[in-house]
Amino acid sequence: MQLVSSPASPFVRKVRVLIREAGHEADVTETPVATTPLAPAADALAANPTGKIPALIRDDGPAIYDSRVICRYLDSTWSAGLYPEKRLWEVLTLEATADAILDAAVLVVYEGRFREAPLQSWIDAQWAKVTRGLAAIEARWMSHLSGPLDMSQIAVGCALGYLDFRHGERGWRGAVPELAAWGDRFAERPAMQATAPV
């Protein structure tokens, strides 16, 4: 299998962490691309008509895309157990919350990078989604994050890592100290260390 990727993408990182936690690095070849919303890479477009990454090119079927779809597929293929049936709806909801934080945080970056005159009200609205998502995780999900490893923990860990990588100056940690401390511990996992953006 081939993963169309970028080392700075937090959505790609989710997949890369899952691959390592499942012990299947040898089964997936990573193909890094330089892609942006304004100039999508040809490899990304060939695998996903929207040009977004990650995309997974399979040996036995069409390419699949969206990090959640790829993660579910790999977890099922390898019986990795990162979407446990007994906690499935909680795992999916927490993963969706982490992905929503990432969606908003990435849009803040894009707004500043690709618009000549960034729209501050848009940036503020996106950042409000980030802070609400973080607050909800700290208020409702800390016991879940302390449980056995599942995909929602990987998603949250990648979201927090991206906030440090692109938005550390915003001081998000001060509002959610318990979650930030959990993120620091989770970031010590070998799979997180191996996939940290540079």
Domains of the chain with bracketed CATH: 2-78 (3.40.30.10), 85-189 (1.20.1050.10)
Q: What's at 196, amino acid-wise?
A: A
Q: How far apart are CA 144 and CA 156, in angstroms?
A: 11
Q: Percent of the chain, pLDDT > 70?
A: 100
Task: For residue range 146-179, list pLDDT tens digits in order.
Answer: 999 999 999 999 999 999 999 999 999 999 999 9
Average pLDDT, the chain: 96
Q: How far apart are CA 103 and CA 95, in angstroms?
A: 12
pTM over 0.75: yes
Q: What element of type H or E holds 88? A: helix 88-114
